[in-house]
């Protein structure tokens, strides 16, 4: 194959997207921390599919024109660090082919190298043993092979890229000891390999098809989510409950949880099997809810939106002009925070936060989510509190896109850090003073969480069994125990110090006020710190604790 034209390039993208989607759950499971929030596969699929779907429905013909649409779609849909890096890889590829209708073998090899270079530049402190290593090593070896061997077949180039990516991925545990200890390879690198494998298969005439239906149907497209004015996804799955799920699962509670994201809900339990149906605009959230309870026996997501939106777009072009949005009142600062749980959302609202984007460790917002929130604010300075290390890059990318807005992403990587920073915010103070005070507050907060393990593993010498409760202090698992309260108290013992002044204790949807009060009493007995207890109603984490 001497050239890749626009038609083949589209098929390569579609096949890469499908292969990534088919392997999404496996990639999610490549999680160093055994917590119920492994989301690399989900983030990469949502990111890549957003770009590919834009490319597939565009009128672009040549490779460069298609790559431009793809790059923009990836940029806007990027979620999590892996998603942002993926968007940057394909941004670099686009930059290398933007003026070309078709590409030859050497141009393909050059584009892959440029993708690697652009991705590295986008990361402030690149870490080896990650997706960055995989794309760099694979692209560099592929380029050298193409140039020195005089390769003219594009299939040979992509085949070499896949081969080298596999080799690089297998060596990631040698570069990141934590991967070797847990016995996994880098999840981001695995996701990128899945994309390239799917693209290669399309070039070989064996394009990958999606294992679950994601296309719209005429019947499904007529089903509307009542009260929301929007169409969405018909999401169905059969779930086999884990041991923890068998102990804690409640049909009524799960229906209530699903009702926060959709309607047409069916939830039926038969011993350890649960059948679920829901119409939702956020199927990925429904999937996350199910994953916390057990493993999927069957999963199907059907898009009810695309066809209806196309009809509406045609009608609007013919008969309507969009009404201008009412401009918000201008002010000096606009604050945006990311949080999961109605209680935590209200805590940020009480601290003058204008927009709270729903999300967190279990569901990372996209770059477009941040852009939409920023554009709704009429202010001189936008301050963003990501409250999770995996969300920072998407927030920063939104600021880069909106070059005309003054956007500052605070280094708040936990909920306690974000809350502490917001407490220090002064709407009357200068920007420099606010940033200094908030950064100082963030630096002086110890953050901890209590959650449960979803698999057996070992972390830094600590054996962990599935179903045990874990205490996470900063970025480390410091305790694993069968008893939830003992785990929480062990965490507090490591967090409290003689100079501790304030403890913020936020209990989640799986914890009780009585448990929180017991922990508050423990804090009072073991320190002189003041204790503030809140109902955060957050998922996954029974307790979120901040110590200042």
Work out whether the CA dihedral 80, 83, 87, 89 comes out positive or negative: positive
Beta strands (DSSP E) in 206-323 are 233-241, 262-270, 273-280, 294-303
Which residues lie below 8 Å from residue 90, measured CB to CB, with a gap of 6+?
A: 51, 67, 70, 71, 74, 115
Strand partners, 533: 505
| pLDDT per residue as tens digits for the range 297-307 | 777 776 665 44
Backbone angles phi, psi at 470, to 5 degrees: -120, 145
| pLDDT per residue as tens digits for the range 418-438 | 999 999 999 999 999 999 999
Looking at residue 33, what is its pLDDT?
Answer: 73
Backbone angles phi, psi at 389, to 5 degrees: -65, -25
Q: Flag whether pLDDT at 460 surpasses 90.
A: no
Looking at residue 268, what is its pLDDT?
Answer: 75
Report how far residue 184's alpha carbon sits from residue 366's, in angstroms, rounded to the nearest whole number.
26
* Position 216 confidence tier, pLDDT thresholds 50, 70, 90: very low
What is the separation, in whole angstroms, between the first and last Cα of the chain? 62
Computed over every residue of the chain, the mean pLDDT equals 88
pLDDT above 70 covers a percentage of the chain that reads 90
Looking at residue 429, what is its pLDDT?
Answer: 95
User: CB-hemisphere CA count at 13 Å for 109?
Assistant: 26
The crossing angle, in degrees rounded to 10, of helices 80-97 and 131-149 is 20
Percentage helix, strand, coil for the chain under 3-state DSSP, each rounded to 5: 50, 20, 30
Looking at residue 439, what is its pLDDT?
Answer: 97
| pLDDT per residue as tens digits for the range 369-406 | 999 999 999 999 999 999 999 999 999 999 999 999 99
Q: Flag whether pLDDT at 277 surpasses 60.
A: yes
Q: Flag whether pLDDT at 524 surpasses 50.
A: yes
Q: Whole-structure pTM over 0.75, yes or no?
A: yes
* Position 158 confidence tier, pLDDT thresholds 50, 70, 90: very high
Q: Flag whether pLDDT at 538 surpasses 80.
A: yes
Looking at residue 303, what is its pLDDT?
Answer: 65
* Position 445 confidence tier, pLDDT thresholds 50, 70, 90: very high
């Amino acid at each position: 194959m001497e050239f890749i034209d626009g038609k083949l390039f589209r098929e390569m993208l579609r096949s890469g997207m499908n292969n990534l989607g088919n392997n999404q759950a496996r990639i999610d499971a490549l999680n160093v921390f055994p917590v119920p929030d492994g989301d690399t596969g989900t983030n990469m699929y949502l990111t890549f599919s957003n770009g590919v779907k834009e490319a597939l429905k565009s009128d672009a013909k040549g490779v460069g024109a298609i790559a431009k649409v793809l790059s923009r779609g990836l940029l806007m849909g990027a979620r999590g660090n892996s998603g942002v890096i993926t968007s940057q890889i394909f941004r670099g590829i686009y930059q290398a082919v933007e003026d070309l209708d078709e590409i030859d073998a050497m141009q393909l090899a050059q584009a892959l190298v440029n993708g690697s270079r652009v991705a590295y530049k986008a990361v402030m402190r690149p870490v080896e043993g990650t997706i960055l290593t995989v794309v760099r090593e694979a692209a560099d070896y592929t380029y050298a092979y193409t140039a020195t061997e005089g390769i003219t077949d594009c299939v040979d180039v992509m085949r070499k890229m896949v081969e080298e990516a596999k080799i690089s991925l297998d060596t990631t545990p040698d570069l990141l000891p934590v991967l070797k200890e847990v016995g996994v390879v880098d999840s981001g690198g695995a996701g990128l390999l899945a994309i390239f494998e799917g693209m290669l298969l399309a070039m070989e005439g064996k394009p990958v098809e999606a294992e679950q239906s994601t296309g719209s149907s005429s019947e499904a497209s007529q089903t509307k989510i009542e009260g929301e004015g929007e169409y969405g996804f018909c999401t169905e799955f059969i779930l086999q409950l884990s041991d923890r799920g068998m102990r804690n699962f409640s049909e009524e509670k799960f229906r209530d949880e699903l009702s926060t994201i959709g309607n047409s809900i069916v939830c039926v339990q038969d011993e350890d099997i649960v059948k679920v149906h829901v119409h939702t605009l956020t199927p990925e959230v429904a999937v996350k809810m199910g994953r916390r309870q057990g493993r999927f026996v069957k999963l199907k997501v059907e898009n009810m939106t695309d066809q209806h939106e196309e009809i509406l777009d045609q009608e609007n072009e013919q008969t309507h002009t969009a009404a201008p949005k009412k401009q918000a009142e201008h002010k000096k600062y606009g604050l945006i925070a990311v949080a999961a749980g109605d209680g935590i959302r209200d805590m940020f609202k009480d601290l003058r936060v204008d927009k709270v984007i729903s999300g967190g460790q279990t569901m990372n917002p996209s770059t477009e989510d941040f852009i939409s929130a920023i554009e709704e604010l009429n202010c001189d300075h936008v301050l963003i509190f990501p409250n999770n290390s995996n969300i920072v890059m998407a927030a920063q990318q939104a600021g880069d896109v909106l070059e005309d807005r003054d956007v500052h992403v605070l280094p708040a990587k936990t909920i306690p850090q974000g809350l502490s920073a917001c407490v220090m915010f002064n709407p009357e103070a200068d920007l420099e003073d606010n940033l200094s005070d908030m950064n100082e507050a963030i630096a002086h907060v110890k953050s901890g969480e209590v959650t449960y393990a979803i698999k057996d593993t070992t972390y830094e010498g600590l054996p962990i069994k599935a179903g045990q409760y874990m205490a996470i202090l900063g970025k480390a698992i410091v305790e694993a125990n069968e008893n939830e309260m003992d785990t929480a108290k062990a965490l507090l013992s490591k967090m409290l110090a003689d100079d501790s002044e304030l403890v913020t204790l936020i209990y989640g949807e799986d914890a009780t006020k009585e448990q929180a009060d017991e922990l508050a009493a423990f804090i009072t007995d073991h320190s002189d710190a003041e204790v503030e207890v809140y109902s955060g109603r957050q998922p996954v984490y029974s307790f979120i604790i901040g110590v200042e």
